[in-house]
Amino acid sequence: MLTVHQLTKKYKNQLAVEGLSFTIANNQCVALLGPNGSGKTTTLNMLSGLLRPTTGTIQFLGKPDINRLELGYLPQYPAFPPWMTAIEYLHFVGKLSGLAKKKRQQNSEEMLAFVGLEKAKGKRIGGFSGGMKQRLGLAQAMIHEPKLLILDEPVSALDPEGRRDVLEIMQELKKSMAILFSTHVLHDAEQVCDHIVMLKDGRMKWSGSLVDLRHTQQTETFALEVAEKLTEWLPSKSYIRDLRFLSPYAAEITFNHDEGRNLLLADCLKDRFTIVRFEQKSYSLEEAYMEVVNQ
Ligand SMILES: Nc1ncnc2c1ncn2[C@@H]1O[C@H](COP(=O)(O)OP(=O)(O)OP(=O)(O)O)[C@@H](O)[C@H]1O
């Protein structure tokens, strides 16, 4: 649905995005993940047609220009007219999107119900909490039933409850449309997305699925824990390359060759050790992310 090729944006002397390429398929949910200043907003603004790329191309729905009617956008800091009620605001946005009167009335009601603002629809936006405003922002972004939703840091400014609400709405939304959202928090990406595009200093650092990310840091270290003391026994094994005791009963081990792990288990059984744990050490997703970002 969306193909970005070698996208670059230069603000005067500042190169904000450089040579960025990625694709988004129908109904895919992609997180643009990166620290502050990595170029997320600049990228999303180019994709939503608010900024002109310095170089590079964007193909949306097979066309070389962005059809804004098929795109929903929620900026990082949305501004709402505080004097309007939620329903008045959605009617207004629906009108701007070219929806006929009946359709915009119907969609406004449906979207407000979808984001859980049904009861607040007649209230002025000025009295809304941050979480309510963000839910209204989502409703306005999807009022015209776009094929792609672009959300700039949709949960960053919210408290844990607001965060959970918005992430749950995104979970529902991704069943019917593609979503591209930016965040600097891996955990938020993990909640909803299928795919991650990692940015740092305007460049793509890495892209792939969460499963791929975890595998990038797969180690060859194994942890063994038994019920008996290992301190005398383990260092004598010739197939062990490196050894670090975690306690007299547990150690982290790397082997000289792949067969080493089978030899160790066979020795444990031969000497009647009671195995409590034997596993390959894995990095947490957060550790894998930090490793990739800092490479
Ligand atoms: N209008 C502008 N003029 C000049 N430089 C800009 C402009 N907008 C952004 N930049 C610079 O471009 C770089 C990328 O900024 P951008 O806002 O796209 O990053 P970001 O990842 O969205 O950051 P944040 O998470 O803080 O919102 C930064 O170094 C920023 O200072």
- pTM confidence score: 0.81
CA of 200 to the centre of ligand 1 (A): 12
Q: Does the Cβ of 35 fall within 6 Å of ligand 1?
A: no
Sign of CA dihedral 5, 10, 14, 16: negative
Q: What's the pLDDT tens digit per position in 88-105? A: 999 999 999 899 999 999
pLDDT, one tens digit per residue, over 189-235 is 888 998 999 999 999 999 998 888 877 766 678 999 999 999 999 99
Do 182 and 32 touch, CB atoms closer than 8 A?
Answer: yes
Ligand 1 atom nearest 184 alpha carbon = 25
Q: What is the mean pLDDT of the chain?
A: 91
pLDDT digits (tens, 9 = 90+) for 139-182: 999 999 999 999 999 988 888 888 888 899 899 898 889 999 99
pLDDT tens sequence across 247-283: 999 999 999 998 999 999 999 999 999 999 999 877 6
For 14: left if phi > 0, alpha if psi spans -120 to 50, otherwise beta; the answer is beta
Task: Report the pLDDT value the prediction gives residue 127, as an integer from 0 to 100.
Answer: 95
- Predicted confidence (pLDDT) per residue in 18-62, tens digit: 999 999 998 899 999 998 999 999 999 999 999 999 999 999 988
Under 8 Å between Cβ of 112 and 105: no
- Which of 41, 152, 153 has most ligand 1 atoms within 8 Å of its beta carbon, as the pocket-test mutant? 41
**Nearest atom, ligand 1, residue 152 CA:** 22
Residue 188 has pLDDT above 90, yes or no: no
Question: Is the pLDDT at 289 greater than 90, yes or no?
Answer: no
73-87 pLDDT tens trace = 999 999 999 999 999
With 0-12 / 13-18 / 19 or more C-beta atoms within 10 angstroms meaning exposed / middle / buried, residue 164 is middle
| DSSP annotation string for 219-240 | -S-EEEEESS--TTTGGG-TTE
Over residues 106-135, the pLDDT tens digits come to: 999 999 999 999 999 999 999 999 889 999
- What is the spatial distance between Cα 22 and Cα 42, in angstroms, rounded to a whole number? 15
User: Helix, strand, or coil here: 184?
Assistant: coil
Give backbone dihedrals phi and psi of 173, rounded to 5 degrees, phi first: -60, -35
Ligand 1 pocket: which of 11, 77, 180 to mutate (most atoms <8 Å of CB)?
Answer: 11
The residue among 63, 68, 64 whose CA lies nearest residue 49 is 68
Residue 41 Cβ < 6 Å to ligand 1: yes
**Residue with CA closest to ligand 1 atom 23:** 37
Q: What is the DSSP letter of 119?
A: G
Contact 173, 179 (CB under 8 A): yes
Cβ atoms of 179 and 149 closer than 8 Å: yes
Among 163, 157, 147, 183, smallest CA distance to 30 is for 183
